[in-house]
Amino acid sequence: MKKIIKYVIIDILRNRIMLAYTLFLFLISFSIFNLEDNSTKGLLSLLNIILIIVPLVSLLFSAIYVYNSAEFLELLVSQPLKRRTIWLSLFAGLSGSMALAFFVGAGIPILVFEATATGFMMLTTGIFLSVIFVAIAMLAAVKTRDKAKGIGVSILLWLYFSIIFDGLILFVLFQFADYPLEKAMIGLTALNPIDLGRILILLKMDVSVMMGYTGAIFKDFFGTQAGLITSFTVLVIWVIIPAWFSLRKFNHKDL
Amino acid sequence: MIIASNVSKRFGKLKALDDVSVTCAKGECIALIGPNGCGKTTLIKCILGMVIPNSGFITFNGKNIAHDWQYRARIGYMPQIGRYPENMTIGQVLDMMKDIRGRSAEQPDEELVSRFELKDIMHKRMRTLSGGTRQKVSASLAFLFNPDVLILDEPTAGLDPVASEILKEKIIAEKVKGKLVLITSHILSELDDLVTQVIFMQEGKLCFHKNIASLREETGEEKLSKAIARVMMGK
């Protein structure tokens, strides 16, 4: 397994897109921290950019990479290797390098300018989001044979998680405005890793007072030890479930 | 050595394999013949575990291959269209395969690598290679690990006459060592001096599996191509 991960990572690191992504994150993080005189404010601006870009790049890059390594997978499957090993190595290689790119690009500036609990929370969430969206992209890529369709599905998934989901939440909130929905909102955020990440970081920043009564409920839940553990468990589940489904599909796929 | 029992595979509506049962014994050189799209490659891919049959099973040395993977260490496979990671060089692909197979105790069989003169172009990237050179790499990889079974899918398609002669000599040499060789080809004249048995397939079904001697006797033709033509006409 280690050998295949090695070959996947070597191949990805040779890719210029990965380098460009790291550089882009690095430049953005540095310039934002330098623009704002207060680094906490910088972190808040950075948050919004990261929550858009990290899932998008993770999804698209991984989906395209899986399609482009069809030959590599075919070659490996005809060798004395378990399909499980091949697929999990690909997953480990992809998520490892996406996480590494995030760590170098955004993590280092964060640690330099804002090495606080909030900064660490942002770092962890960013790495989690990278891995989660690699898993989702691999599921989308293994389910659809056609490359154009698979990449289209990945873009739609990103749209859903970044924009459409929030729209749906707003819709629900307005429709059921007469009911106490604050507790239900906590459950709903678990359905979207991006939202979950955003709330985890915002609550660390003490701007939750701006979010009104729902913010108070969130603070009540996510601010506690149990809430924090629950939300990280949910993030882990977001990694495991797509990865497991894609593995199951790959085990029975005809190459 | 390889026994397929009632293997069926469908891709959507198309029945690629329909209740195919074959037995391949050690020391034989078997030709898989049939018109385009008759399921030869699908059968080979089933044996390699790249395609999973809808029903039926395949055993390798008495073990079902469905949940096994180690048996593939004993197979050398040369695909019809060799597809390799595009931005790796020939040398890297060879090294990677040696690394993955990881049988350091055994000296890899690099006869084909040297006879095809791949040593001089080791630094070339796979995407820059011509179809024939790719085939040479595929062939070298198939023979590299001294496998007990060789599965060659259209081995000489795209090879120049010199290279295909080298490959044929190598196949005969391996056959003499008592290995099982499975070949598919459309150029029947090439198979004449290689094969000992013929499997003929049509539309996913196995038509016959015969010894070449008995096939010659039945049809009264010396050449394989004519014998097959006679069988097809007779149907």
ipTM of the complex: 0.85
Q: Do the chains contact at B79 and A11, CB–CB below 8 Å?
A: no
Tell me the mean pLDDT in the region A7-15. 85
Length of chain B: 235
Phi-psi label, residue B89: left if phi above 0, alpha if psi -120 to 50, beta otherwise: beta
- Per the DSSP assignment, residues forming a β-bridge with B153 are B184
What does pLDDT average to over chain A? 89
**pLDDT, position A179:** 85
**pLDDT, position B98:** 87
How many CB pairs (< 8 A) connect A and B?
58
pLDDT band for position B235 (50/70/90)?
low
- Residue of B9, B47, B50, B95 for testing the chain A interface, max A β-carbons within 10 Å: B50
Is the predicted pLDDT of residue B91 greater than 60, yes or no?
A: yes
Residues of A in contact with B79 (CB under 8 A): 74, 78
Residue B73 in contact with partner chain A when CB distance is under 8 A: yes
Report how far Cα A61 is from the mean position of its chain's Cα atoms.
12
Tell me which of B1 and A25 has the higher pLDDT.
Answer: A25
Residues of B in contact with A4 (CB under 8 A): 100
B51-69: pLDDT as tens digits:
999 999 999 988 888 888 8
Is the predicted pLDDT of residue B1 greater than 90, yes or no?
A: no
Decide if A54 contacts A136 (C-beta within 8 A): no
Is the predicted pLDDT of residue B223 greater than 90, yes or no?
A: no
**pLDDT, position A180:** 82
Nearest CA distance, A146 vs chain B (angstrom): 15
Q: In what order do the strands lie in the sheet with B14-24?
A: B14-24, B2-11, B55-60, B63-64
Is the predicted pLDDT of residue A137 greater than 90, yes or no?
A: yes
**pLDDT, position A208:** 64
* Strand boundaries in B123-221, DSSP class E: 149-153, 180-184, 197-202, 205-211
B19-55: pLDDT as tens digits:
889 998 888 899 998 888 888 889 999 999 889 999 9
Decide if A65 contacts A94 (C-beta within 8 A): yes
pLDDT band for position B149 (50/70/90)?
very high
A74-108: pLDDT as tens digits:
888 888 889 999 999 999 999 999 999 999 999 99
pTM of the model: 0.89
Domain ranges of chain A: 2-251
The single-letter code of the amino acid at B150 is L
Tell me the mean pLDDT in the region B82-98. 86
Determine the Cα–Cα distance for residues B125 and B129; give it in Å rounded to an integer: 7
Residues of B in contact with A75 (CB under 8 A): 83-85
Domains of chain B (ranges plus CATH)?
A: 2-234 (3.40.50.300)
